[in-house]
């Protein structure tokens, strides 16, 4: 009898311990972070499915129970745009089928959880390519639409230009068609709308033909960049893609640049020799020197010289369009207990670039504690179709990678510097990109996005119960 009681106690203890472990695991899974890891948020639940009916049921049940929903893809937006405390996180990554390819009209229809890498792998054998995507292809289409991305193509600017139509699951649980001709007001709100107007289900995107490009590289001074770009890139129809980098190394801080142009090759018959999609490879060396650049000025100087040397070796090489749109390194692949890496992106009219860099340099030379790792420069042509458009002019985009601590003190210190950088940007008729940590003030947001109040009013119109919520909206709509 005693043995039986002892055995029962042991079984009870094991079950209790197992239940507690499971509970801890569940609680840990409910705490979600974006890629910047500065804003952990505990959700009520995390739900994921590949079924449209189940997604619709989740929204309808949330409407009945007055629960909040946040929509997530790869969660690289860093300011709480995909999170809301106590809400349901709808993880869309399983909803990732490619539904139809119309080769003749160069259109593809996909579910919103599909990644750009998935699409590239699917369309590459057909000789087709994307018009617009980020340089890294790990992101979901729905997430990219929600932040209205741009890329390296200088003829196709922001993603909204390439969207033909999509279906949207709204706050009432209804599925509606959205295009420039049907529910057109929502078309301009959802793209660049940070998941606040509903769940993007499937999307029809415009494609273009894959091409063979010849690469040209050149080192220039920052004050030559605007004239170089205008004459050699913008006015040269053969140049289809372009990117540049400006040095953050102490020996050449915000003065030296190198440019990379991708021009249509004269012999397109050789395209087949270059169509195999490259993978993320040989990244150990650049990651090693990027690691050194986190630690010292010497490391930054070394990393810059290595980048320039690699760039020189690209001269006169050939690449397919699909491969140009695939990054060779993963800058955001960084894990540290004490530090993290965040992005900022500032847009400035091309004719103000030199004076802007001068003012930015003056500011940052006095802000030694800001650990800048990389600044990539791209071009984005004017497009104000999205209500939350960031390109009110033809602009250069500076994508800035910053290493910072996770402590409250470090967050506040970085925030103070970033707000100063944004003020400099706004003084040059520029703007900034929203998908990053909420360092900017509401006043800065309003100046950068003059249609901000219209955006918030439309949110109240289409979702008065605030079914779709995130911390970005809570922070700035007040």
**pLDDT score recorded for residue 282:** 47
Residue 135 domain flag: no
Contact of 381 with 391, CB cutoff 8 Å: yes
Q: Which residue's entry shows tokens 């530090």?
A: 339
CA distances from 159 to 20, 153, 162, 192 (A): 46, 11, 6, 9
**pLDDT score recorded for residue 375:** 96
**pLDDT score recorded for residue 115:** 92
117 class by beta-carbon count within 10 Å (0-12 exposed, 13-18 middle, 19+ buried): middle
Residue 199 domain flag: no
**pLDDT score recorded for residue 277:** 87
**pLDDT score recorded for residue 78:** 63
Nearest Cα to 139, choosing from 164, 157, 112, 121?
Answer: 112
> Which structural domain, as residue segments, surrounds residue 296?
212-437
| CATH number of the CATH domain containing 242 | 3.30.70.2520
Residue 286 domain flag: yes
Residue 368 domain flag: yes
**pLDDT score recorded for residue 294:** 87
Residue 416 domain flag: yes
Residue 12 domain flag: no
Dist CA 252 CA 221 (whole Å): 10
State whether the Cα torsion 302-303-304-310 is positive or negative. Answer: positive
Structural domain total, the chain: 1
Dist CA 429 CA 360 (whole Å): 14
Dist CA 222 CA 258 (whole Å): 9
pLDDT averaged over 10-residue windows placed end to end, the chain, 478 residues: 56 47 47 65 89 96 94 68 86 95 97 94 96 82 92 91 97 97 98 95 97 95 98 96 95 97 92 82 63 88 86 86 76 70 93 98 91 94 94 94 88 92 98 89 95 96 96 88
E strand map for 338-476: 339-349, 371-380, 395-405, 431-432
Residue 330 domain flag: yes
Contact of 357 with 365, CB cutoff 8 Å: no
Dist CA 454 CA 220 (whole Å): 42
Residue 48: half-sphere exposure toward Cβ, Cα within 13 Å: 14
Classified as helix, coil or strand, 1 is coil
Residue 277 domain flag: yes
């Amino acid at each position: 009898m005693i043995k039986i009681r002892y055995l029962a106690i042991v079984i009870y203890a094991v079950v209790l311990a197992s239940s507690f472990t499971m509970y801890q695991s569940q609680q840990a899974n409910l705490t979600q972070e974006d890629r910047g890891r500065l804003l952990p948020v505990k959700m009520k639940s995390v739900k994921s499915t590949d079924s449209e009916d189940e997604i619709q049921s989740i929204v309808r049940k949330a409407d009945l129970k007055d629960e909040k929903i946040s929509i997530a893809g790869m969660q690289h937006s860093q300011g709480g745009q995909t999170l809301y405390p106590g809400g349901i996180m709808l993880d869309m990554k399983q909803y990732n089928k490619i539904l139809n390819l119309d080769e003749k009209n160069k259109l593809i229809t996909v579910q919103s959880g599909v990644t750009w890498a998935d699409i590239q792998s699917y369309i590459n054998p057909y000789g087709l390519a994307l018009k617009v995507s980020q340089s890294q292809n790990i992101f979901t289409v729905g997430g990219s639409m929600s932040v209205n991305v741009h890329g390296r193509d200088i003829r196709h600017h922001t993603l909204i230009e390439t969207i033909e139509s999509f279906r949207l699951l709204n706050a009432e649980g209804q599925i509606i068609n959205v295009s420039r001709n049907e529910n057109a007001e929502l078309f301009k709100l959802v793209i660049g709308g940070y998941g606040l107007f509903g769940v993007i289900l499937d999307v029809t995107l415009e494609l273009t033909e894959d091409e063979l490009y010849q690469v040209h590289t050149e080192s220039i001074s920052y004050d030559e960049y605007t004239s170089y770009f205008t004459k050699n890139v913008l006015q040269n129809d053969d140049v289809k893609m372009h990117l540049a980098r400006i040095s953050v190394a102490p020996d050449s801080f915000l003065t030296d640049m190198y440019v990379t142009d991708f021009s249509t090759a004269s012999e397109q018959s050789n395209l087949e020799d270059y169509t195999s999609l490259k993978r993320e490879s040989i990244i150990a060396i650049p990651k090693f020197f990027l690691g050194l650049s986190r630690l010292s000025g010497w490391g930054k100087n070394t990393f810059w010289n290595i980048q320039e040397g690699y760039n020189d070796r690209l001269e006169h090489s050939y690449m397919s369009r699909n491969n140009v749109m695939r990054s060779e390194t993963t800058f955001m692949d960084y894990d540290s207990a004490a530090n993290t890496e965040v992005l900022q992106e500032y847009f400035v009219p091309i004719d103000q670039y030199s004076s802007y860099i001068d003012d930015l340099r003056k500011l940052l030379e006095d802000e030694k504690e800001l650990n800048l790792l990389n600044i990539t420069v791209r071009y984005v042509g004017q497009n104000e179709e999205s209500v939350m458009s960031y390109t009110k002019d033809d602009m250069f985009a500076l994508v800035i990678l910053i290493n910072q601590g996770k402590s409250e003190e470090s967050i506040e210190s970085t925030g103070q510097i970033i707000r100063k950088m944004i003020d400099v940007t706004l003084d040059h008729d520029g703007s900034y990109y929203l998908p990053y940590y909420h360092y900017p003030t509401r006043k800065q947001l309003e100046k950068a996005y003059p249609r901000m109040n219209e955006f918030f009013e439309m949110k109240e119109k289409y979702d008065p119960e605030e079914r779709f919520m995130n911390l970005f909206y809570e922070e700035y709509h007040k």
